[in-house]
Structure 1
Amino acid sequence: MKQQAYVAIDLGASSGRLILGTMQEGKLNLEEIHRFTNDPVYLGDTFYWDFMRIFHEIKQGLKKLSQRSDIEVTSIGIDTWGVDGAWLDKNGRLLTNPIHYRDARTSKTMDAFYNHITDSKLYDITGIQKMSFNTVYQLYYDMTQNEVVKNYGEKWLFMPDLIAYFLTGSTFNEYSIASTGALLDAKTRTYSKELFEALGLPLDKMQPIVMPGTVVGTLTAAIQEETGLGEVKVVAVGSHDTASAVAGAPLETENEVYLCCGTWCLMGMELQEPILSENSKDFNITNEGGVEGTIRYLKNINGLWFLQQLRKVWNERGLNLSFPDIIAEVQKSNCDFAVDATADRFMAPLNMEKEIIAYCKETYGVTLETVGDIAKAAYNGLAIHYKEVLEMFENITGKSIETVRMVGGGIQDQYLCQRVADSTGKQVVAGPIEASCIGNMLMQMKAVGTIKSLNEGRQIVRESFEQKHYSAK
């Protein structure tokens, strides 16, 4: 008898995977079906995502699934990073290639943007942390500077919506991904008419909001023919990868924060309503949409991007270092200096090593030289920021945080997990690693009726995956 199977298309800033999930004896089992690198491309002075290749690789994974005789694919869900997307023309063709959130184009229109609305008012409406790449700035740029979009852009789709469109032909904007871009009214969970009117943006070019756990269509006949799959349902899950990761985190109490560890590290709390207070605004904490109507009250931290970019520089120089190699050097280092993990200069430097060395020279008057010292300065900066953000949450919510629940690929770095425990003084529980894929699958399972609620799904997570505990030393 074939097993009922759920497929998570999980795209991160540096790689993509198709993960297969099946239930056996009450436990969720995961199997990686296909993996590929996600390599953004500079073309001229613009930093693009290579969407054509991303979609090609997704289809290669689907083809592999169709060759399996032991499973029946029930549904597919898609989660990606936030804020980015692309335009379709009036005929439903891709008009623009998605542009990377680290592209600098929005800086050209910021002054004009704030002639229409203030930072404070924008936060009052959306509750979203001010970051230069938010979708609201991207759309304002497109409608004021991009003649092609102004004349021919008909429908805006966020990245997971775009992938779902080319799989099913359906156009929609999933709630959690739309919430990342500072376009929604945080209280009503819908696009803010006030905001769109103030900025002169065309509200009719946005698509209907659908909530996580909604079946949005089935694979088109063309995709079925090309991949060999049948009329498989496609589900709008928590399409922002962090929304899926939080869904997959087995949170137990209100006195916990989650820390999703990947290219970005995101620390936050799961709430029922947004917090739009002056303190929240001053600390620039974001209120993004979650599954089952929750709010992801969180702070973006420029996370393992530091280590990924350092390794890239060192390996291009021929050092051939793995992440365990770098961590081993860090543990030998006595470096006490720390970068400012929030500084704009670390967003997209051409050479992360040179940027960290320059920062420490300018700030402390020292020249870092070794792999261990340079990488430890990055870890030190992250540890300091984790502590600061956790204390912000305690001050604003009035809750005493007891546990930091770490999920995502970054928890394989046991040194990082211990640094979080040491810097915050809190109990750290790490696991599961594949939280975004798991949360993605839980919403698929709810959509097709396998489970009734997120709480039921989280109990499956507790019974299926190991969790490791760390205490402050």
Structure 2
Amino acid sequence: MGEVFYNLAFDFGASSGRMVLCKLEDGKMELEELHRFPNNEIRIGGHIYWDLFRLYHEMKQGLKKAAARKVPIQSLAVDTWGVDYGLFDKDGNLIGNPVHYRDSRTDGMMEEIGKIIPLEELYNRTGLEFMYFNSIFQLYAEKGMRPVILDHAKRLLFMPELFGYFLTGIMYTEYTFASTSQLLDARKREWDFELIEKLGLNKELFGDIVMPGTIIGDLLPEVEEETGLSGVKVIAVGSHDTASAVAGAPMESQDAAFLSCGTWSLLGMVLDEPILNEASYKYNYTNEGSIDGKIQFLKNINGLWIMQNLRKNWCEFEAEVSFPDIIKAAREAKRKDFIIDPKDPRFTAPLNMMKEIVAYCEEKGQGCPQGLGEMAMAIYNGLTEEYRKSIEGMEEITGKNIPCINMVGGGIQDELLCELTAKATGKRVAAGPTEGSVLGNSIVQFVAVGAVKSIDEGRRIIKNSFELKFYEP
């Protein structure tokens, strides 16, 4: 028996969070979910916020459970969804609750910023896909929504680093997450301070950037005392959950695509350098930071959040259903040709997803979806059509033939989605593992403490530890 290593991976999604105990022994990994909790949006005063302090409370409950296990945990790390942040005053106090990326405050901000810097120039500098909720648009919106808070802010911390600060008292900014802001120079992997000044934002808000695998520090004494967990290092991993998911994807080949499938669908390739040209701008591809300083050239696609909300509304207004019930209904649907466009703004944050799906299909001359199965098929077809277009666009821009799509994340538990993805794209799909973000988070930690030599070795360990399922087109 060889040495055994343990770490904790906190993975926050847009609807839930969890803490997983990760074990490495004799070249194999094992995962044990110790704590799971909801992540509910809070609507108040016409805006949407994150319930930040509840989330931090849940983190500490997880740490208490980890301490009770009495195993030698070396480190922990946090990854979350992208773009969102908190602002701090000169004394290190949080001022104002973090706003949810689906909030409407960014309406019209893209056009306003386009008056200051042409959008094509902005893309050429930052390499980021234009999405209404990118941090750049949120920060510019602060001028109208919360000018007093913005005027007094002296430091910005993105969500994973915000939790890291609560745990360690140390402020830091991690590269992969910073790359989701649309304020980073894509080529230099540094803040674009010229752009930041053009927008009238305070340069002091943006701290030094650390790369994934950086050991940040120890838990604060007060955290150790409250939770009973001590001797644990906090590590900056691929703090953006997509970067962690890609790190945890056992890629079938160098030219394979990845598809991190959850609340959002992130479909792309790992490249050494960003692609910043007319075609990537025209088709709106993004260049986000990846592990080892590489680039994730990808498309953000509104994902299973639409299906989650269909289920939520069906349970509210019709009858209780599970996701397996929805899959069964979709397979049995009389009509399977309904299709929505996941990019349509009506599917961003509706109060009733069922009504929006029906209205969209009727407005597009498709007729009226009848029942749960036909509504679900409209979502499946919309998602997989976006996957097809994204794959074809990547092949055109990169000049590469993509032989396979490595699907990771909770969405791979939906076999119908995997089947339809292979059919729509014409590509072989390798589905697994489910816990892509957790595994990538954990592997970067193991590399940082010297338990694993490299990310490539980590991916081999993941492949040897978890079974993949293959779907042919």
Q: Could you tell me the TM-score, scaled by structure 2's length?
A: 0.98
**Is the aligned partner of 1:65 residue 2:71?**
no
**Is the aligned partner of 1:368 residue 2:403?**
no
CA distance in 2, matches of 1:110, 1:23: 46
Partner of 2:321 in structure 1? 321
Q: Which one-letter code corresponds to 2:291 in the other structure?
A: V
Query: Pairwise mapping of residues 127-138 of structure 1 onto structure 2 (< 5 A)?
Result: 127-138=127-138
CA distance in 2, matches of 1:194, 1:152: 21
Q: Which one-letter code corresponds to 1:189 in the other structure?
A: R
Partner of 2:10 in structure 1? 9
Query: Pairwise mapping of residues 63-212 of structure 1 onto structure 2 (< 5 A)?
Result: 63-69=64-70, 71-212=71-212
CA distance in 2, matches of 1:149, 1:108: 21
Asked if structure 1 preserves the Cα contact closer than 8 Å seen for 2:216 and 2:234, the reply is yes
Partner of 1:393 in structure 2? 394
Partner of 1:18 in structure 2? 19
**Is the aligned partner of 1:434 residue 2:409?**
no
Asked if structure 2 preserves the Cα contact closer than 8 Å seen for 1:242 and 1:436, the reply is yes
**Is the aligned partner of 1:248 residue 2:248?**
yes
Shift of 1:253: 2.1
**Is the aligned partner of 1:459 residue 2:460?**
yes
SS in 1 for 2:116: coil
Count of residue pairs brought into register by the alignment: 471
CA distance in 2, matches of 1:170, 1:121: 35
Q: Which one-letter code corresponds to 1:4 in the other structure?
A: F
CA distance in 2, matches of 1:457, 1:343: 38
CA distance in 2, matches of 1:367, 1:417: 26
Partner of 1:44 in structure 2? 45
Shift of 1:341: 1.7
CA distance in 1, matches of 2:232, 2:92: 22
CA distance in 2, matches of 1:107, 1:192: 24
CA distance in 1, matches of 2:145, 2:16: 31
Q: Deviations over 1:325-374 (max 9, x none)?
A: 01100001123121012212111111111001000010015122211111
Partner of 2:349 in structure 1? 348
Runs (4+) off by over 4 Å: none
SS in 2 for 1:17: strand
CA distance in 1, matches of 2:108, 2:149: 17
Shift of 1:129: 0.2
Asked if structure 2 preserves the Cα contact closer than 8 Å seen for 1:144 and 1:150, the reply is no
Would the alpha carbon gap of residues 275 and 22 (structure 1) be closer, same or farther in structure 2, given more than 3 Å must change? same
CA distance in 1, matches of 2:46, 2:36: 29
Partner of 1:213 in structure 2? 213
Q: Which one-letter code corresponds to 1:293 in the other structure?
A: G
In structure 1, runs of 5+ residues without a counterpart are: none
Shift of 1:274: 0.2
Q: Could you tell me the TM-score, scaled by structure 1's length?
A: 0.98
Q: Which one-letter code corresponds to 1:285 in the other structure?
A: Y
SS in 2 for 1:41: strand
Shift of 1:200: 1.4
Partner of 1:384 in structure 2? 385
CA distance in 2, matches of 1:410, 1:257: 16
Asked if structure 1 preserves the Cα contact closer than 8 Å seen for 2:29 and 2:462, the reply is yes
SS in 2 for 1:381: helix
Q: Which one-letter code corresponds to 1:84 in the other structure?
A: D
Partner of 1:338 in structure 2? 339
CA distance in 2, matches of 1:46, 1:197: 27
Partner of 1:312 in structure 2? 312
Asked if structure 1 preserves the Cα contact closer than 8 Å seen for 2:252 and 2:406, the reply is no
Q: Deviations over 1:11-59 (max 9, x none)?
A: 0001100000111232000000100011011011010010011000000
Shift of 1:91: 1.2
CA distance in 1, matches of 2:26, 2:403: 32
Asked if structure 1 preserves the Cα contact closer than 8 Å seen for 2:7 and 2:22, the reply is yes
Shift of 1:246: 0.1
SS in 2 for 1:10: strand
CA distance in 2, matches of 1:427, 1:111: 40
Q: Does 452-461 or 197-206 show the bigger shift? A: 197-206
CA distance in 1, matches of 2:410, 2:250: 16
Partner of 1:444 in structure 2? 445
Asked if structure 2 preserves the Cα contact closer than 8 Å seen for 1:143 and 1:201, the reply is no
CA distance in 2, matches of 1:108, 1:51: 27
Q: Does 286-295 or 252-261 show the bigger shift? A: 252-261
CA distance in 2, matches of 1:282, 1:113: 18
CA distance in 1, matches of 2:267, 2:108: 30
SS in 1 for 2:207: coil
CA distance in 2, matches of 1:457, 1:18: 20
Partner of 1:359 in structure 2? 360
CA distance in 2, matches of 1:115, 1:370: 46
Q: Deviations over 1:186-244 (max 9, x none)?
A: 00000002211221111211111010000011100010011001131000000000000
Asked if structure 2 preserves the Cα contact closer than 8 Å seen for 1:257 and 1:267, the reply is yes
RMSD: 1.3
SS in 2 for 1:42: strand
CA distance in 1, matches of 2:418, 2:108: 39
CA distance in 1, matches of 2:111, 2:398: 33
Asked if structure 1 preserves the Cα contact closer than 8 Å seen for 2:338 and 2:366, the reply is no
SS in 2 for 1:296: strand
CA distance in 2, matches of 1:383, 1:171: 40
Shift of 1:113: 2.1
CA distance in 1, matches of 2:138, 2:151: 16
Asked if structure 2 preserves the Cα contact closer than 8 Å seen for 1:167 and 1:219, the reply is yes
SS in 2 for 1:115: helix
SS in 1 for 2:364: helix
SS in 2 for 1:120: helix
Q: Deviations over 1:369-390 (max 9, x none)?
A: 2111111111111111111110
SS in 1 for 2:107: helix
Q: Which one-letter code corresponds to 1:308 in the other structure?
A: Q
CA distance in 2, matches of 1:439, 1:218: 21
Asked if structure 2 preserves the Cα contact closer than 8 Å seen for 1:13 and 1:38, the reply is yes
Query: Pairwise mapping of residues 388-427 of structure 1 onto structure 2 (< 5 A)?
Result: 388-427=389-428
Asked if structure 1 preserves the Cα contact closer than 8 Å seen for 2:85 and 2:159, the reply is yes
Q: Does 335-344 or 291-300 show the bigger shift? A: 335-344
Shift of 1:151: 2.6
